[in-house]
Structure 1
Amino acid sequence: MKSILKLLPLFALAVLVFSCGQEDGIDAKKNKLAELKDQVSTLSDEIKNLEAELSKLDPEFAKTNKKSILITTAAARKGEFTHFVEVTGSVLSKKNVSISSETAGRILEVPAIEGMRVSKGQILARIDAESIERNIEEMQSSLDLATTIFQKQERLWNQKIGTEIQYLEAKNRKEGLEKSLAAMKTQLNKAYVKAPFSGTVESVQVRVGELVQPGVPMFQFVGESDLFIQADVSESFVGVLSKGDSVQVVFPSLNKTITTKVSAVGGIINPNNRTFSIEVFLPNLPDVKPNMISVLKIQDYSNKEGVIVPAHLILSDTQGDYLFIVENGTAKKKYVKRGLTFGDETEILEGLTGTETIVDKGFREVGDNFSVNIAQL
């Protein structure tokens, strides 16, 4: 035990010496690293200065020493190019009607409210018809009596008792009362204002207790079927559009696109905005509602052999429109004549054949005859 205690100071001293030696080694390495970095920075500056001086003195050296720019590419393609005109349209209904009463009276009940969806035959309002109901009760009593008299007179006539005139008078009275009662019931039914077809109550123009007259509007009602789209198109498209032309319809609120046809073309130019109206057929779609906004894409140009490139890659200078193509690892400036643009595609009328490789990402960093390196994605 005593021997171990004697060795402890020696062990502590060894540890201290080792730690100091290790710290000295780390500091030396840090100093060496800083020294090398300074050398690299100095050498890098000298290299750049020499390259700049040689580039000025030797053009061949400048070409070979030019750094390649990393780019991606897109291919020009040859195929069908189609251009569309976009106009805003509104969904309308051919069943947009104003509903009024067929009889006069005081409003007793208005179950319908604005925005309410109702089915065909559903009651929208009820008009006071107490007097008609009482007349029906009296008429029913008279009819019951006339029916009893006719039945007895008929039995007598079948037994050859009485005259034919008595029989015919009883029959005529009974049939006349039946027709009068049917007419009164029809009049009573008109006291109930009903939906002529399934749809939506757009506005309610009457209140309980008001007096109404036949023909006075009570409700504005829009049906859910027979929908169509109406849009105003510039007069510059007169002759371009005709009935039966294909139209793409986009509903932004539904994120839905359908293809349909022009069902009618207006024949009058609006002098205020120089447009004419068109109607587009709309099939039954569950989510499409009257007054919904739509965008019509109408085709006005098509070329089956067009040369097409991404529109955002076309640049311009004082000489015209151009883009960069890649040939043998070098960017080449190519002037072109552009045609129509739709979306992010532009038709090139002159300057390309449709087989070129175009500089995509990095097209703003390159120049004519710049060395490029195509990134492998």
Structure 2
Amino acid sequence: MNATYKFLPLIALALVGISCASEDGVEAKKAELEKLKTESNEITNQIKELEAELIQLDPEFAKANHKSILITTAQAKKGRFEHYVEVTGSVLSKKNVSISAETSGRILEVPAMEGMRVAKGEVLARIDSESIQRSIDELENTLDLATTLFEKQDRLWKQQIGTEVQYLEAKNRKEGLERNLASLKTELSKSVIRAPFSGTIETVQVRLGELVQPGAPMFQFVGESDLFIEADISESYVGVLAKGDSVDVNFPSINKDIQTKVSAVGAIINPNNRTFKVEVYLPNMPMVKPNMISVLKIQDYENNNAVTVPSYLILSDNKGDYIFVVEEGIAKKKYVERGKTFDKDTEILAGLEGNEVLVDKGFREVGDNFNVNIAQL
């Protein structure tokens, strides 16, 4: 037993030595692997540089050494190209009015509420008119007597009894009272505030029991007819847009599209945002309401003989914009001059004829003079 304990330190020392030797071997192998990786990267970069130089010097070498890249193609188009200005507009009403009191008195009733839709003639508020009603009652009694006296005087005058002055006085008194009564009734009608047309109550500015005077604002009222769209257009489009130009309108909230025309173009530039106002005619549409958001597409450019390509296929380098075309199974870099871009297509002003076959899928993997293999879809 004692002999066994004597050898234990020696066994432990041997195990530690083996462990250290194993760790040193792993670290050495890791270092060797990193060294080889570095050398491999350097060799790969040198190969790429030599290949690039040979491709420039010898096109046949490029054909022989570049493997074919699988691609799909797209066709350059030649035909009508249209460009539109897209802006956000708001539906407004020409019947946006402030309704004010036309007579003095205390508010007795306010059935109208903000946001309420009302029909033409519907009561919005009532003003105390008791004094006017008393005056009307008194005047009606007086008018009854004056009418009776005039009728008697008229019968006598027709029988040539009495003087013409008596007849004219009775007639004048009766007609004067009738005019006064009509005025009082008009004044009485003003105590009931009614909607001038069908629309929506934006704000209510009076309260029950409040005393109002003629001219005091009571309601802000917006009609549902005579609607139009107003939008702010950048000053860079001054002279491009004119009254009568076609406009495509989309209402995102109701997913509705219509085509209409520009009805007015502002003559003043807003100095705060460098824009001018454009009004667009809006036909009667029950679903469209004031303050609804709309998106306007106004055409500002067209070319009936334009060459267009998908915008995403156009690449750029330090020489300019270019696109890859396929010629006899070889990808060729063609430098182009861009025009306007709209709806994922770009007009090409120079560099293409419109009948080229373009590299579509795989256009980022190819290079100039690369062999390509067109996939059959």
So what's the TM-score if we normalise by structure 1? 0.78
Residue 40 (structure 1) aligns with: none
Q: Distance in 1 between matches of 2:154 and 2:349?
A: 97
Residue 81 (structure 1) aligns with: 81
Contact 1:68 1:373 in 2 (8 A): no
Determine helix, strand or coil for the equivalent of 2:332. Answer: strand
Q: Report the CA distance between 1:78 and its aligned residue.
A: 0.5
Q: Distance in 2 between matches of 1:60 and 1:303?
A: 41
What per-residue deviation string (whole Å, max 9, x for no partner) do you get for residues 181-233 of structure 1?
11111000000111122211111011110011111111001111222222222
Determine helix, strand or coil for the equivalent of 1:289. Answer: coil
Deviates more, 1:180-189 or 1:118-127: 118-127
What per-residue deviation string (whole Å, max 9, x for no partner) do you get for residues 226-250 of structure 1?
2222222222222222323333323
Q: Distance in 2 between matches of 1:160 and 1:225?
A: 61
Structure 1 residues 49-198: aligned runs within 5 Å: 68-198=68-198
Q: Report the CA distance between 1:303 and its aligned residue.
A: 1.7
Contact 2:308 2:346 in 1 (8 A): yes
In structure 1, give the amino acid aligned to 2:174: K
Structure 2, unaligned stretches of length 5 or more?
A: 1-50, 52-58
Q: Report the CA distance between 1:139 and its aligned residue.
A: 1.2
In structure 1, give the amino acid aligned to 2:376: A
Q: Report the CA distance between 1:278 and its aligned residue.
A: 2.4
Contact 2:86 2:295 in 1 (8 A): yes
Label 1:60 to 1:155 Cα distance change in 2 as closer, same or farther (>3 A): closer
Determine helix, strand or coil for the equivalent of 1:161. Answer: coil
Residue 232 (structure 2) aligns with: 232
Structure 1, unaligned stretches of length 5 or more?
A: 1-55
What per-residue deviation string (whole Å, max 9, x for no partner) do you get for residues 126-172 of structure 1?
00001111111111111122222222222233333333333222222
Q: Distance in 2 between matches of 1:145 and 1:83?
A: 80
Q: Report the CA distance between 1:67 and its aligned residue.
A: 5.7
Q: Distance in 1 between matches of 2:252 and 2:325?
A: 37
Q: Distance in 1 between matches of 2:258 and 2:246?
A: 11
Q: Report the CA distance between 1:333 and its aligned residue.
A: 3.0
Q: Distance in 1 between matches of 2:373 and 2:333?
A: 13
1:375 aligns with 2:376: yes
Determine helix, strand or coil for the equivalent of 1:183. Answer: helix
Structure 1 residues 287-326: aligned runs within 5 Å: 287-326=287-326
Deviates more, 1:346-355 or 1:150-159: 150-159
Q: Distance in 2 between matches of 1:316 and 1:79?
A: 25
Residue 257 (structure 2) aligns with: 257
Contact 1:326 1:359 in 2 (8 A): yes
In structure 1, give the amino acid aligned to 2:373: V
Q: Report the CA distance between 1:60 and its aligned residue.
A: 8.1
So what's the TM-score if we normalise by structure 2? 0.78
Q: Distance in 2 between matches of 1:240 and 1:271?
A: 20
Q: Distance in 2 between matches of 1:225 and 1:90?
A: 15
Q: Distance in 2 between matches of 1:284 and 1:350?
A: 46
Q: Distance in 1 between matches of 2:285 and 2:130?
A: 44
Residue 42 (structure 1) aligns with: none
What per-residue deviation string (whole Å, max 9, x for no partner) do you get for residues 288-314 of structure 1?
222222222232222221101111121
1:278 aligns with 2:278: yes
Contact 2:73 2:374 in 1 (8 A): no
Q: Report the CA distance between 1:359 and its aligned residue.
A: 2.4
Q: Distance in 2 between matches of 1:147 and 1:61?
A: 121
Q: CA RMSD in A?
A: 2.4
Contact 1:71 1:373 in 2 (8 A): yes
What per-residue deviation string (whole Å, max 9, x for no partner) do you get for residues 2-54 of structure 1?
xxxxxxxxxxxxxxxxxxxxxxxxxxxxxxxxxxxxxxxxxxxxxxxxxxxxx
Deviates more, 1:61-70 or 1:76-85: 61-70
Q: Distance in 1 between matches of 2:253 and 2:358?
A: 37
Q: Report the CA distance between 1:69 and its aligned residue.
A: 4.3
Determine helix, strand or coil for the equivalent of 2:186. Answer: helix
What per-residue deviation string (whole Å, max 9, x for no partner) do you get for residues 340-373 of structure 1?
1112010111221111122223333444423213
Q: Report the CA distance between 1:63 and its aligned residue.
A: 5.2
Determine helix, strand or coil for the equivalent of 1:285. Answer: coil
Residue 206 (structure 2) aligns with: 206
Q: Distance in 2 between matches of 1:176 and 1:211?
A: 32
Q: Distance in 2 between matches of 1:62 and 1:235?
A: 52
Residue 351 (structure 1) aligns with: 351
Identity %: 72
Deviates more, 1:94-103 or 1:260-269: 260-269
Contact 2:315 2:322 in 1 (8 A): yes
What per-residue deviation string (whole Å, max 9, x for no partner) do you get for residues 89-111 of structure 1?
22222211111010000001111
Q: Report the CA distance between 1:70 and its aligned residue.
A: 4.1
Q: Distance in 2 between matches of 1:224 and 1:143?
A: 44
